Chain A
Amino acid sequence: MTKDEERLLMQQLIDPKSQRQAFERLVREYSEQLYWQVRRTVLSHEDANDILQNVFLKAWSHLDDFHHDAKISTWLYRIAVNESLDFLRRKKNQIVVSADDSGQSVSQTLMADRYFDGDQTEALLQEAISRLPEVQRLVFNLRYFDEMKYSDISALLQTSEGALKASYHIAVKKISEFFRSHD
């Protein structure tokens, strides 16, 4: 979406008459990008779908809170990041509380997932990523798979580029060590 298109979309989102139609365009435009970002964080399609729905419902109910000097895509990404992290924290607590945890590893769960096409190595990569701390995990996914610029990640996560570079470097090192230990 060009800057002019985004500006027009923002004007339509403010106007109650065109708001719904403009929001539909917004969902059509960004749902796929956001889905992949969320999916890489939470891994399962069902969870990613629930989170993505929450992202757009939240965006709709908080349209007034959007600062018009920011990019709407950054705003949506930020909601998606927060929703994904909240989900992971809730899930972590549930696993700690739950006594009947199946004890399956992430790679085993993925290999049994009908919406996962990858081989064993790709499943292991996801397992290694899932062991990273939250921020390293987000930065790694955005940089490694999406090849996002550090300046864009910085705007998204509101962290300095230097800190992000350090996080990515550590994440890559940890994942490499994980694979070397499996070779």
Chain B
Amino acid sequence: MTNDELYLKERVGQKNPFHTPEGYFDQFTANIMAQLPEQTSHAHRQVVDQHFVAKKVTMPVRHWFYAAACVAALVVTAFSFHFHEQADGQQQTVVSETYMDEAADYAMLDNMDIYQLLAEE
């Protein structure tokens, strides 16, 4: 024992200065036992493990399925975009031709008037 330790034991002692409420340790065990949840049984744990393994096995298959779905979605989007653009171009030509004819009829202009207007400009 060192001098410091000796000094401390003489100066302060080793007594436990704490205490607990009366009957604390008697009630503690009952208290804890009342709080204990049901223990997960070994059988249940095995079922959980098997489920986990099954999940692990199906995981790559599922990944392939997701990848295929993504590729299909991309192809459909690309095709629909392409067709939409083509249809849009055709529709625009049709609309502009009919619009000019209707506008000429409305203004009661024949081809000669149009040529004259263009020559004046």
Partners in one complex: yes
Q: Can you name the residue of chain A whose Cβ is closest to the Cβ of B3?
A: A176
In the complex, what residues of A have CB within 8 A of residue B11's CB? 121, 179
In the complex, what residues of A have CB within 8 A of residue B14's CB? 144-145
Contact at A121–B29, with CB atoms within 8 Å?
no
Contact at A179–B39, with CB atoms within 8 Å?
no
Contact at A53–B8, with CB atoms within 8 Å?
no
Question: Which B residues have a C-beta under 8 Å from some C-beta of A?
Answer: 2, 4-5, 7-8, 11-21, 24-25, 28-29, 31-33, 35-37, 39, 41-42
Question: Which A residues have a C-beta under 8 Å from some C-beta of B?
Answer: 16, 19-20, 23-24, 27-28, 31-32, 35-36, 39-40, 43, 45, 49, 52-53, 56-57, 60-61, 63, 110, 115-119, 121-126, 144-145, 169, 172-173, 175-176, 179
CA distance A68 to B25 in the complex (A): 27
Contact at A57–B32, with CB atoms within 8 Å?
yes
In the complex, what residues of B have CB within 8 A of residue A122's CB? 12-13, 15, 17
| Chief secondary structure at chain A's binding surface | helix
CA distance A4 to B19 in the complex (A): 32
Contact at A172–B42, with CB atoms within 8 Å?
no
Q: Distance (Å) between the CB of A143 and the closest chain B CB?
A: 9
